[in-house]
Amino acid sequence: MSNKSKTVRVGIMPLEQYKKRTIAIAKGEYKPKKNEPKIWFVSIKSLANILSEENQQLLKLITDAHPQSIKELEVMTGRKANNLLRTLRTMENYGFVKLTEGKQSKGRAPLIPTVIYSAAKIEINFYN
């Protein structure tokens, strides 16, 4: 991630409403506005699970230390590699982290985690 601060807009929308929105976008009936959230959660609880204090600390560590593998991150955090990978894959699915393959020396190429955003703005719309 660059030194420049990059903020993402995060929205919370019930699943049924999110499905309708997604279908409307796919059909070309709705075009998302530039200032709308880029990442969506179905509840505050699901958002809180992904951006828990522990996970926020993990994002900060990745940003500050630039680990070159999950194994290296395992040593830094004391968390098991499979637990870290599960967490990072979930964060990648939401768009907070990118996992890229590094150079292969022996066996599998290491996965290098990169944090995409430095901050998130939360938007909750009560009237959609």
Confidence of residue 128 (pLDDT cuts 50, 70, 90): low
Q: What does the pLDDT average to over 73-89?
A: 96
Evaluate whether 97 touches 88 at the Cβ level (below 8 Å): yes
Long-range contacts of 119-123 (CB under 8 A, 24+ apart): 119/5, 119/6, 119/7, 119/8, 120/7, 120/8, 120/9, 120/10, 120/39, 120/51, 120/96, 121/7, 121/8, 121/9, 121/10, 122/10, 122/11, 122/12, 122/47, 123/9, 123/10, 123/11, 123/12, 123/37
Confidence of residue 4 (pLDDT cuts 50, 70, 90): low
User: What local confidence, expressed as pLDDT, does residue 126 receive?
Assistant: 72
pLDDT digits (tens, 9 = 90+) for 21-56: 999 999 999 999 999 999 999 999 999 999 999 999
pLDDT digits (tens, 9 = 90+) for 53-67: 999 999 999 999 999
State the DSSP code for 51: T
Instruction: Tell me whether strands 39-41 and 7-12 are parallel, antiparallel or unpaired.
Output: parallel
Evaluate whether 117 touches 2 at the Cβ level (below 8 Å): no
pLDDT digits (tens, 9 = 90+) for 88-124: 999 999 999 999 988 877 777 789 999 999 999 998 8
CATH no. of 7-124: 1.10.10.10
User: What local confidence, expressed as pLDDT, does residue 3 receive?
Assistant: 44
User: What local confidence, expressed as pLDDT, does residue 2 receive?
Assistant: 46
User: What local confidence, expressed as pLDDT, does residue 1 receive?
Assistant: 44
